[in-house]
Structure 1
């Protein structure tokens, strides 16, 4: 199985006199989304690696001055305040893996967001809650509009997807008026000390 290369993040900035500069050039490491310390997924595990690239605060976003670095921080899948950008590395999940293990890494979830997912390398399946399965591969783009879904890598190779998540209004069921709630992902949020 081919290993995916490390993610290099380059963030531009401005000098005090307004000239364009490179503000940061750094190699980032994927984090285990279930590890509160932000550590990497265990070697040879089925847990996807989340590499947080950038998060804006508000709309319109500020393109000047200090910014909050989401890398290495526990955080929710989506920010209600701004746009989230991350790379997710999906390891292969063998078809003969125990169901309870498959269910831990392949969970149905809904976010209150519009997500753009660009497959950078590999292949995986997008599965909707009605069982519809669509295979996406390198170069394919998925626009996820608040649907309940899961991702499954049923190949023998790693798959890397670049996601941009934009906060959205909740989905309203036309026939009943019910607002569909996002999946509870509080376990992924940053732990904040109470003051």
Structure 2
């Protein structure tokens, strides 16, 4: 099960005074398999910020951000060894995230994928291996990855689910 993430969204009243619009767990969750999934916190489509939208994440939870937009999310990886080398499960997970085309099913790791985005990622909890085509590195909490349209996979090395936070910015119109 994914850990619920409290999300506080603010707004302005008609008089221009700030207040809380919503406060509670983000309802925009895609739990794909055994402690693995995405929790979208906010998203913007092409055209820039829209402060009138009460819930920017109220859309299907998919891997890639909308064209010209961005996505702010938490993602969770299952404990080490849980479904790790299951290529059929990985293909299903990427299909459920609307990302079959991003999935590299024949790569060295079953979860290798590449999206048309620049991603700013911070490991919040756990110990995770970042797997690239030519090398790998170990991440500790608060390590930061700038993922630039590169084929990659994540592998949790700890015995508890690992959580990462990410901002994904679409690059499909710029490259």
Separation (CA, whole Å) in 1 of partners of 2:173 and 2:87: 30
Structure ID, larger Rg: 1
Alignment length (residue pairs):
158
Tell me the C-alpha RMSD between the 2 structures: 2.9
Q: Can you give the 5+ residue segments of structure 2 that lack an aligned partner in the other structure?
A: 94-109
Which among 112, 115, 123 is matched to residue 116 of structure 2?
112
Structure (1 or 2) with the greater strand fraction: 2
CA 96–41 in structure 1, closer or farther in 2 if over 3 Å, else same: closer
Which among 152, 166, 173 is matched to residue 169 of structure 2?
166
After TM superposition, list the pairs within 5 Å mapping 1:116-131 onto structure 2.
116-130=120-134
Which range moved further: 141-150 or 89-98? 89-98
Which range moved further: 113-122 or 98-107? 98-107
Q: TM-score, normalised by structure 1?
A: 0.69
Q: TM-score, normalised by structure 2?
A: 0.76
Q: How big is the shift at 1:93?
A: 3.5
**Corresponding position of 1:91:** 78
Which among 30, 36, 40 is matched to residue 48 of structure 1?
36
Question: Following superposition, which runs of at least 4 residues in structure 1 exceed 4 angstroms of deviation?
Answer: 95-99, 101-106, 169-172
* Partners of 1:112 and 1:169 within 8 A in 2: yes
Q: Can you give the 5+ residue segments of structure 1 that lack an aligned partner in the other structure?
A: 33-39, 173-195
